Amino acid sequence: MIASNGKVMNLGPARDHKICGSCRSGSAPLSDGISVARRRSEGGYTLVALLAMMTVVALFAMAVAPSVRHQSQRELEKEAIFRGEQVADAIRAYYKYRSAISRGAGDQALPSSMDQLLQGIPIPGGSKNRQILRASAARDPLTIEGEWRFILPRTDALIDFQQAVMFYAGNIVPTTQDQQMAQLQQFAVPQITSITNLGLASSTRSTSSIADDATGPFVGVASRSRRDSVLTYYGIERHDQWIFTPLFR
């Protein structure tokens, strides 16, 4: 088309003369493909780093787990010793009271149930009983059932424990200044003068028979757990061989 000024005008469709901006037609620019590949590569590196961190955390947890278990077992064993010693003290108090009122010693002066210790002993001149054992101490913390195993006089378990105490104390039996307890010790367990074989104590303990359901007058208690211990009690390293008794003190 010719304008009035003589110039030729192009009336065709206008072209896109933008310098900047995206082209709507044709294939995507090369820079977009590079960006996508870069993001995928960075995502792969992140996944590898995450897996490596999880592996390190898992290895650390595996290394720490035994220490945590040992610490937990150690605390339970401390509590078991604490409670067992309280039961031993209660047996002593009960025996001294019963032997005094019955004017005799022996099995009849020993408790035959944990309830007798929990009931306490009468206060002289009073109408109430003196508490000699807490309810929590009557429970064994090393087992789910929580029932102590009764140790009867003149049993193999008690004889083995006496040997362990002698071995731990340097081949001597600890004596007591309490005359009643000394008489009970002579009655409850045969006296051993010495241990000539240093390995006798450990070998005897490992073969001793265990009566878990023993009933009758008892002179001590022990756990029903047969696990190896973290702590040692008179050099003994198994729960069911720890005997808590007023003897040998």
Residue 238 has phi, psi (to 5 degrees) of -145, 140
What are the tokens at 101?
């009122």
Q: To which H or E segment does residue 32 belong?
A: helix 30-102
SS3 for 5? coil
The answer to whether residues 230 and 68 touch, using CB atoms and an 8 Å cutoff, is no
Bridge partners of 122, per DSSP, are 129
Which residues, 6+ apart, have CB-to-CB distance to 155 below 8 Å? 211, 214
Q: How far is CA 156 from the centre of its chain?
A: 28
pTM value is 0.70
What are the tokens at 51?
């897996």
CA 126 – CA 142 distance, rounded (Å): 37
Q: To which H or E segment does residue 187 belong?
A: helix 179-188
pLDDT per position in the chain (249 positions), as tens? Answer: 444 444 444 545 545 444 444 444 455 455 555 565 566 566 667 877 788 888 877 776 666 566 778 889 999 999 999 999 999 999 999 999 998 887 777 788 999 999 999 999 998 887 889 999 999 999 999 999 999 999 999 999 999 999 999 999 888 877 778 888 888 888 888 776 655 544 444 444 444 445 567 789 999 999 999 999 999 999 999 999 999 999 988
Question: How wide is the angle at C-alpha 93 spanned by C-alphas 90 and 185, nearest 5°?
Answer: 95
CA 199 – CA 224 distance, rounded (Å): 25
Instruction: Say which amino acid occupies 202.
Output: S
Q: Convert the pLDDT of each residue in 172-190 to its tens digit.
A: 877 778 888 888 888 888 7
CA 80 – CA 223 distance, rounded (Å): 8
The answer to whether residues 144 and 76 touch, using CB atoms and an 8 Å cutoff, is no
- The torsion region of residue 181 among left (phi > 0), alpha (psi -120 to 50) and beta comes to alpha
CA 199 – CA 162 distance, rounded (Å): 14
Q: Convert the pLDDT of each residue in 21-70 to its tens digit.
A: 444 445 545 555 556 556 656 666 787 778 888 887 777 666 656 677 88
